[in-house]
Structure 1
Amino acid sequence: MTELRLVIFDVDGTLVDSQRDILSAMEAAFAAEGLAAPGREEVLSGVGLSLPETFARLAPDAEEGRRARMIAAYCEAYAGLREAHGPDSSPFYPGARQALDRLAAEPWTLLAVATGKSRRGLDRLIAAHRLEGVFASRQTADDHPSKPNPAMIRAALSDTGVAPTRAVMIGDTGFDIDMARAAGVASIGVGWGYQPAAGLRADRIIHDWAALPGALDQLMETTR
C-alpha cells in the first residue's frame, strides 16, 4: 500500500500569473494616497507576503493608518479587476492545471495550498478555475502569520495527517522555501515565478511542470 504524501502549492507566481492585476491594484493603492507606486520588480519581490507585511516593505515611511487605507484601496482595486477579468485575472501557467489534475488523480497524493492571498481571494480563484474539491487543505494569510512563518504548512499537515517527511512545498519565492525549511518539509522552487530561481535555495528547482513528477519522486520515494 502506498503511503500518503502531501504536495503544498503557493498560488501567485507558482500556479497562476496574477502580476497584471497585482501591479495595477498596487498603482491604485499608492495613487489613492497621492504617492508614486514602486517599480514592478520591487512589487513582485514581495508577492507571497501578507498585505500588511507587503505594505510595510513598500511604504516603510507611511504611518500605520495610512498603510491601512492603502491596503483597503488595494483590495478594492484588485477585487474590481478580478471581477472584470474573470479567470483571465489569474491565468494558469502552462501545464499547471494538468499537473494538478494528474496529482489529484493519485490516491496516495493529497494537495494543499499555502498562500499570501486572503481567504476570499483564494475562494474566488478556486471558483473561477473550477478547482473545488482539488485541495484537501487551504491555508491563507487571513488565518496565519505571514510567510516565512511555518504556521500554514503546519496547519496543512495537521489537516491531512501527513508527516513532514512525506510533504513538499512548491513555490516561486524565498518566502516559500524558508517556510518549508522552518516547517521541516522538502521544497521545490519553480523557474517561472516572481523571484529568480537561482536564489531560492530549494531542494529541487523545476523549469516546467512536466518535471514535477520526477522531482517529487526524488524527494519522497514512493513506498509501495
Structure 2
Amino acid sequence: MNGVFGWVARRRLVVLVTTLLVAVGLEVLLHVVGDETAAWMVILAVDLGLPVLLLVGAMVAVRTHHPATLVARPDVPAFETPADPVVVLGSAAFTVWPVKWGADAIEDVAAYPEEWFFPALVAFIAVVVTVLFWIAALGRFGVRLRPDGILSRRVVGSRFIPWDALELPHPATAHHPQWVSLNLVRSSGVPVVLPATGVSAELLARAVHEYANRPDLRPALGTRAELDRFQAIPQIAALRER
C-alpha cells in the first residue's frame, strides 16, 4: 500500500483532476439516465461510495504511510518532508461532495429561475470549498530544515524555529507517529511540535538532532549530496529499510 500512497503523494494534481472529472461525469449520468432506473441506482451508489472510499484510503494512510525519507530542495535551499497522501485523498473526497451540491444548485435554478439566489450561493460555497481543499493538497506544506532553522508550514499559519533555540544535545523526540516534540532552550510551557505527516516521525527527529548538533553541516542543507550522506548514516539506513 505504501507504493500506492507514495504515487498519490507524487501525483497530487492527477488524483484531484481525475476525481473531479469522475464526479462531474457521474452527476451528468445521473441526470441523463433518469430517476429510479437500475442504471441510475448503480451510478448513485458509485457517486455516494467514491468519497467514502477515498476517506477510508486516507484513514489507512494515516496509520500506515510514514516513509523514512526527506526531499532535497536546492532551490530553497532545504530538506522538506514529502507531500502527504492523507491530505490528497481527503481533498479528493471533499471534491466529490461540492460537485454534487453544485449540480443540485444548477438543477434548482433551471426548475425555479426566479429563486436563483440560494442555489447560486450554494454553488459559490461549493467552489470555495473545493478551492480551499485543493490549496491544502497542492501547496508545499510540512516541515523544512533550512540552514537558518526549521520552518513548519501549515495551511493556516507557519512557525519558524532557529537552530539556536533548540536545547542540545537532545533537541527533538518522536513519542508519537504523527508529530515530533521539540525541546527549546527557553520554553514557555506550551509544547512545540512539528507535524510528521507523510514522513517517519523518528526520521524527522533524527534529522533535527543531526543538524542542531552539527552546525558545520547546515550550509549544505538542500543539496542532494548532503541528503545522500545523511541517509547513509547506519541508523538512518536501518530506519529506511524497515
- Structure 1 length normalisation: TM-score? 0.24
More helix by share: 2
So what's the TM-score if we normalise by structure 2?
0.23
